[in-house]
Amino acid sequence: MELWIFATITATIFQTLRFMLQKQLSMGALSTGGATFARFAYSAPLLAVLVVAWFMMSGTEFPNITARFWIMGAIGGLAQILATVCVVALFRARNFAVGITFKKTEVILSALVGFIVLGEGVSSLGFVAILVGLTGVLLLSSTPEAQGSLKERIFTRAAGLGLASGLMFAISGVTYRAATLDVGADAPFLRAAVTLSAVTLMQFTAMGLWLRLFEKGQITAVWAARRKAVWIGLMSLCGSLGWFVAFTLQTAAYVNALGQIELLFSLLVSVLVFKERLSAREGIGIGFLSASVLLLILVTR
């Protein structure tokens, strides 16, 4: 098994566990911002210490990094924060598996972002895959209890949050890969660790300032919830390191496509942990999105 495949699968497992814990905390003492901050508060300082200790103990010189590294890292970090906030907010409205499925529209949106930013077109099969995925999103956005016209049922807050998170995750994946490639080192793990450490420290600082200014009391609440929140940080650290290693070795499109295996893990969590049931329409919607992912994988091979 290639390293990037192993790293991606490992990342999806840890990410599913992290989202599960974030959902539990966001439904309790922490706000959406607080639950998002928890992942950085308990991972950024630990990772920074580990990276510095590794350089000191190994005697390895710190790799050269460029201004582009910081720009790409900052853009990716901001996009990931916004995406995570959207996902945590989405958990309040929909069940766990559907929330993760909305988030995984990042694969479909990556094709659109690639066309807009890089001018990369899609084949006819790629366009079909996007339409199939869109059908799945529309099925998931119309809740059983929704009232009113078709337009009112489709254009819901849940659909907006899901699509926004997918777009932000698509942007962060591309910019993270760009940042890792700007680290002057040959070892993929080293490049990933340096990039992840820099990004999480920026995210930790930005989210801390936001909570201090606009959500007073949430930093204290994150500390009070440390017995559970610390596991969010550890799961985030392991998952993010897996993603960064994968992005270092392979393009974001392939990594995100393989990352759709997270759908299976989220379904298990939804049923076994949260005791949630999927409606027939939601199951069909997940099926459409899964089919879209498979088509995209075939198109990009």
Structure-token pair, residue 33: 């911002």
Give the pLDDT score at 152: 56
Q: 158, exposed or middle or buried, with CB in 10 Å at 0-12, 13-18, 19+? A: buried
Q: What is the pLDDT of residues 103-160, one digit of tens each?
A: 667 777 777 776 776 566 667 776 777 677 767 766 765 555 445 555 555 566 766 7
Instruction: Check residues 61 and 254 and name the one with the higher pLDDT.
Output: 61
Give the pLDDT score at 155: 63
Give the pLDDT score at 188: 84
Cα–Cα separations (whole angstroms), residue 143 to 42, 87, 122, 174, 279: 35, 17, 31, 32, 9
Q: What pLDDT band is residue 166 in, cutting at 50, 70 and 90?
A: confident
* Total domain count, the chain: 1
Segments forming the whole domain that contains residue 216? 3-299
Q: What pLDDT band is residue 183 in, cutting at 50, 70 and 90?
A: confident
Q: What is the pLDDT of residues 228-247, one digit of tens each?
A: 778 878 888 888 889 889 88
Question: For residue 65, what are the contacts with CB-CB under 8 A and spacing of at least 6?
Answer: 182, 183, 184, 194, 198
Average pLDDT of 260-264? Answer: 71
User: How is residue 184 annotated by DSSP?
Assistant: S
Give the pLDDT score at 208: 92
Whether the predicted pLDDT of 87 surpasses 80: no
Whether the predicted pLDDT of 260 surpasses 60: yes
Alpha helices in the chain (DSSP H): 3-26, 32-41, 44-58, 67-91, 96-103, 106-113, 124-141, 150-154, 157-181, 188-214, 218-224, 226-249, 252-258, 262-272, 280-299
Distance CA 179, CA 175 (A): 6
Give the pLDDT score at 81: 86
Task: State the chain's mean pLDDT as an integer.
Answer: 78
Whether the predicted pLDDT of 300 surpasses 60: no
Give the pLDDT score at 2: 75
Give the pLDDT score at 120: 60
Whether the predicted pLDDT of 93 surpasses 70: no
Whether the predicted pLDDT of 184 surpasses 70: yes
Average pLDDT of 195-222? Answer: 91
Of 37-41, 64-68, 79-83, 254-258, the range with the lowest mean pLDDT is 254-258
Give the pLDDT score at 128: 78
Whether the predicted pLDDT of 217 surpasses 70: yes
Question: For residue 66, what are the contacts with CB-CB under 8 A and spacing of at least 6?
Answer: 182
Q: What pLDDT band is residue 297 in, cutting at 50, 70 and 90?
A: low
Please state, for a pLDDT cut of 70, what percent of the chain lies above it. Answer: 76
Nearest to 72 by CA among 39, 108, 117, 115: 117
Nearest to 255 by CA among 174, 167, 143, 155: 174
Q: What pLDDT band is residue 70 in, cutting at 50, 70 and 90?
A: very high
Query: Is-contact 252 300, C-beta < 8 A?
Result: no
Give the pLDDT score at 154: 55
Query: Is-contact 31 218, C-beta < 8 A?
Result: yes
